[in-house]
Amino acid sequence: MSKKVTQKEINQTVWKACDTFRGVVDPSQYKDYVLTMLFVKYVSDVWLDKKAIYSAKYKGDAQRVERALRNERFQVPENCTFEFLYDSRNAANLGELINTALEGLEDANRSKLDRVFRNIDFNSESNLGRTGDRNRRLKNLLVDFADLDLQPSHLADGDVIGDAYEYLIEKFASDAGKKAGEFYTPSQVSTLLAKLVQPQAGDRISDPSCGSGSLLIKALKEVGSNNFSLYGQEINGSTWALARMNMFLHEIDNATIEWGDTLNNPRLIEGDSLMKFNVVVANPPFSLDKWGADNATADQYARFHRGVPPKSKGDYAFISHMIETTYQDNGRVGVIMPHGALFRGSSEGKIRKQLIDENLLEAVIGLPANLFFGTGIPACILIYNRAKGKNKDVLFIDASSQFEAGKNQNRLRDSDIEKILNTYLEFKAGEPLDNEEGVVIEDKYAYRATLKEIQENDYNLNIPRYVDTFEEEEPVDIAATQQSIAELKKELASVEQKMESYLKELGF
């Protein structure tokens, strides 16, 4: 039996293919070309694999083979296969041929791939250079991908393609600088957030700013079964396309990923109302300017009934949308926010107060700095829960000092994630406080705050108000310090004398 292709081998081969664009095209752009080509290679190889299986099964009967192939997940016309493109690698109009193949794939799989490739132009002069340079780059890309064998019967396991796609998206994010935050949340942060909202079998799960879909995939993995439904919306067309392909490569064919502006044009609708979900997670753009405040008071879905956030900061616009899209009896929201959302006043302070008074806020978790691509600022996770019941306490965790330092970016370790999660679960299992004062759960790490305390703090959720992280400095021994200074002065005088004698010897 031949050796199976591993995810590591796929990762190495495809990452090498990126050399075709690296240093010439911005990573936030060339990711679209590389990941799209990976998708084309995958569906082509699956088609080739199935064709061989059916040919053997039906002893070469072309009609029966063709009929069997009509029932496959994707239809791949002859002039849309990777093999056709590879054979055409020396064509003068190679970029145009690839675009035509992508259009053909869309047409043959309209229910799955409609508009997925419309924002990706392999014939773009502005992105890929003039004709000669463009053709050379595209040919190199095809040659590199030709070495990949993605036929399912040749793979080590069924998850390697989806995992390779995720690996590449994260690698692109590490190269893309500030633009990376538009399409990817670091894997460890996504894992933590997915665990905190505790998705259950049968849940509807949504991400209203889903990027490339990685956070949604992390959430579904927490369900532990195939009994779930996924929904997302993404404003950026090329990122939306990545999310769609990401779902298919993870063999999630029934996910609903919409394209559009969630705050101004929510697309996840049932009848005349917003679609409702059990779990809503998101890493929306921090403090989004010009998010649509001018039209918020007339919002047909009444999402901003607690107040309209300021024009220059859309943080609570996303929070308001997320909460309004949850079921009233068991909805859970997990959202990543900048720390300013914890204490800023004016309209944000009024919305924050209302959410707390409605007993929706369950936990505030401070994260380490420099975790996210494109920004070094520390962020926090806010957990809202419609099923808190009589428990009005709020958990505060300061996890800002617990991480693995990296050269360019810090990361959460498995132990850091486990500690945060266990602290949260123990808080949920604990009895509500009867008194008006909170309780330290772990010194300098976690605190159980009462509603009374939060009200006394004027609904300010700044974590140091609840988790005491103050470190006392060791007392200074004045006498020892004075003695040390005196000794240093003696040493300095001795050095100066030696220097003066050396200068005299040199005639100065």
DSSP of 204-259, one letter per residue?
A: EEEETT-TTSHHHHHHHHTT-SS--EEEEEESSHHHHHHHHHHHHHTT-TT-EEEE
DSSP state, residue 281: E
What CATH number did the domain enclosing 447 receive? Answer: 3.40.50.150
Measured between alpha carbons, how far is 143 from 140 in angstroms, rounded to an integer? 5
pLDDT at 181: 57
Given 175, 209, 227, the domain boundary residue is 175
Both 350 and 404 in one domain: the answer is: yes
Both 158 and 289 in one domain: the answer is: no
Both 349 and 407 in one domain: the answer is: yes
Both 365 and 416 in one domain: the answer is: yes
pLDDT at 490: 83
Both 99 and 231 in one domain: the answer is: no
What CATH number did the domain enclosing 165 receive? Answer: 1.20.1260.30
Residue 137 lies in a domain: yes
pLDDT at 272: 93
Residue 471 lies in a domain: no
Both 377 and 394 in one domain: the answer is: yes
Both 38 and 146 in one domain: the answer is: yes
pTM: 0.88
Phi and psi at residue 395, to the nearest 5°: -90, 135
pLDDT at 382: 98
pLDDT at 176: 60
Residue 1 lies in a domain: no
pLDDT at 480: 78
Residue 229 lies in a domain: yes
Given 126, 148, 175, the domain boundary residue is 175
Both 292 and 347 in one domain: the answer is: yes
* Segments in the chain below pLDDT 70: 1-2, 158, 175-183, 374, 470-476, 508
Residue 120 lies in a domain: yes
DSSP state, residue 489: H
Residue 251 lies in a domain: yes
Burial group, residue 200, by CB count within 10 angstroms (0-12, 13-18, 19+): middle
Residue 483 lies in domain: 476-508
Burial group, residue 225, by CB count within 10 angstroms (0-12, 13-18, 19+): exposed
Name the domain count of the chain: 3
pLDDT at 385: 98
Both 40 and 116 in one domain: the answer is: yes
pLDDT at 28: 72
Residue 283 lies in a domain: yes
Both 91 and 206 in one domain: the answer is: no
Both 236 and 126 in one domain: the answer is: no
What residues are paired with 155 via a beta bridge?
5
Given 175, 192, 207, the domain boundary residue is 175
Both 127 and 195 in one domain: the answer is: no
Residue 234 lies in a domain: yes
pLDDT at 1: 44
